[in-house]
């Protein structure tokens, strides 16, 4: 049972690129970010190689709750207050553009449903209302419900904020499709090839696209990105469709929706044992699983049978923004990670933005995401110098 429901889709072998030898760019990580980066680079004729320790989508990209959301981990009004109106607006517009791109590439792996963020108490209601008003003020689509309708818990929540652009995702199917597109464009996607040290790589550029899985590769990133575990369960199909879109509640600690065949997907409850969930160990725990099963029973209004349970690891940053751009002090090393639990859309954006920057097309939106805001510069060391030192 400790296996992601999303990863059970049939897997076709990826086409192998018809080239060997030295790559111009090596991308570490075969999730949404790594595959997006490889697709963008290969499409411009760059010799790019993806090195994935397991299989494409086997990490967080195939182990999340299946939400495709605009924005990020920080509510829009909070981001606007903290970073300024224009940077916050640019980041949200960026996420909307990449949500549209995801929808255009994902096929039946994506369903445009909108999402619902629910207020469990009066304080959360006020927080959601503030975000709703900020979104409308800056021209973003949003809807307000004074009393959420539908499902078994309609009376438990005080209000809801609807995000119309959002959707539900079969994340592993989507990322495997993205990996196939990258391979067909000419990327050399190598599964089962773990990178143990950047010193082993003789290459012009390295892109670290491991989100919360890459600890040990670069101390500077280890200090800035904290591995965080999220646990999920899936039930057998329910008799009725109760939750036709992604739902969030309790400031994101509870989240759920149903699949097209009416299976209930329930994740979160990290707040039951936060000290245990700050970890890179990809394993379920009794305390969180017990909480998830009890909540699933409440959501269904009757006892449910769990068919799948799993854990995945994401990377959390101190300011809840990803790191996207060059790593200070490491010439030719790029970061694209740290999505704080919102990697399905932001991961696609980050991979594409880093590829564009490598190609000399730096987008202005990445100024807010520059790794230099969290990483102190170290003595500059190029990847070619590292390779030469390791062979001497």
pLDDT digits 0-9 by tens, 115-168: 999 999 999 999 999 999 999 999 999 999 998 777 777 788 999 999 999 999
How far apart are alpha carbons 218 and 198 in whole angstroms?
Answer: 8
Please give the pLDDT value at position 185: 97
How far apart are alpha carbons 178 and 156 in whole angstroms?
Answer: 39
DSSP three-state, residue 204: coil
Alpha-carbon torsion, ordered 374, 379, 380, 386, to 10 deg:
-110
- Rounded to whole angstroms, what are the CA distances from 363 to 55, 349, 355? 30, 11, 11
Report the predicted TM-score, pTM, of the whole model to 2 decimal places. Answer: 0.94
Q: What phi and psi, each to the nearest 5 degrees, are found at residue 33?
A: -65, -50
Look up residue 324 and give its two tokens: 């996207």
Per-residue pLDDT tens digits for 75-122: 999 999 999 999 999 999 999 999 999 999 999 999 999 999 999 999
Other beta carbons less than 10 A from residue 372's beta carbon: 13
Per-residue pLDDT tens digits for 338-347: 999 999 999 9
How far apart are alpha carbons 199 and 339 in whole angstroms?
Answer: 26
Starting at the edge strand found earlier in the chain, the sheet holding 167-169 runs 67-68, 167-169, 110-112
* The CATH fold of domain 21-111+166-225+317-392: FAD/NAD(P)-binding domain (3.50.50)
How far apart are alpha carbons 239 and 227 in whole angstroms?
Answer: 37
User: Using 50, 70 and 90 to split pLDDT, how confident is the model at 69?
Assistant: very high
Mean pLDDT of 19-43: 96
Burial 75-99 (b: 16+ CB within 10 A, else e): bbbbbbeebeeebbbbbbebbbebb
């Amino acid at each position: 049972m400790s296996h992601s429901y999303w990863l059970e889709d049939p897997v076709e072998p990826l086409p192998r690129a018809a080239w060997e030898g030295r790559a111009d760019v090596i991308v570490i990580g075969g999730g949404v970010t790594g595959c997006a980066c490889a697709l963008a680079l290969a499409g411009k004729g760059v010799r790019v190689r993806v090195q994935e320790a397991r299989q494409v989508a086997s990490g967080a990209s195939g182990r999340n709750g299946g939400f495709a959301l605009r924005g990020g981990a920080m509510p829009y009004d909070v981001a606007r207050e903290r970073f300024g109106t224009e940077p916050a607006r640019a980041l949200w517009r960026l996420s909307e553009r990449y949500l549209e791109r995801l929808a255009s590439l994902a096929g039946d792996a994506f369903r445009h449903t909108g999402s619902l963020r629910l207020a469990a108490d009066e304080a959360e209601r006020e927080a959601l209302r503030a975000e709703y008003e900020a979104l409308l003020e800056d021209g973003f689509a949003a809807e307000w419900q004074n009393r959420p309708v539908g499902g078994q818990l309609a009376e438990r929540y005080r209000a809801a904020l609807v995000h119309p652009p959002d959707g539900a995702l079969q994340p592993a199917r989507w990322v495997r499709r993205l990996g196939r597109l990258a391979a067909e464009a000419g990327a050399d996607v190598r599964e089962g090839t773990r990178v143990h040290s950047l010193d082993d790589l003789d290459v012009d550029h390295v892109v670290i696209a491991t989100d919360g899985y890459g600890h040990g590769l670069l101390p500077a990133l280890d200090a800035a990105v904290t591995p965080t575990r999220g646990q999920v369960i899936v039930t057998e199909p329910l008799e009725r469709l109760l939750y036709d879109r992604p739902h969030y509640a309790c400031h994101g600690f509870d989240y759920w929706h149903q699949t097209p065949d009416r299976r209930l997907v329930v994740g979160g409850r990290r707040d039951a044992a936060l000290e245990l969930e700050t970890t890179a160990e990809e394993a379920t725990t009794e305390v969180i699983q017990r909480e998830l099963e009890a909540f699933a029973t409440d959501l269904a209004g009757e006892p449910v049978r769990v068919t799948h349970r799993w854990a995945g690891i994401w990377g959390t940053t101190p300011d809840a923004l990803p790191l996207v751009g060059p790593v200070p002090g490491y010439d030719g090393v790029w970061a694209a990670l740290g999505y704080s639990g919102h990697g399905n859309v932001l991961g696609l954006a980050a991979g594409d933005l880093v590829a564009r920057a490598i190609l000399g097309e730096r987008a202005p939106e990445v100024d807010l995401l520059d790794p230099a805001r969290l990483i102190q510069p170290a003595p500059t060391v190029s990847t070619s110098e590292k390779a030469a030192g390791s062979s001497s």
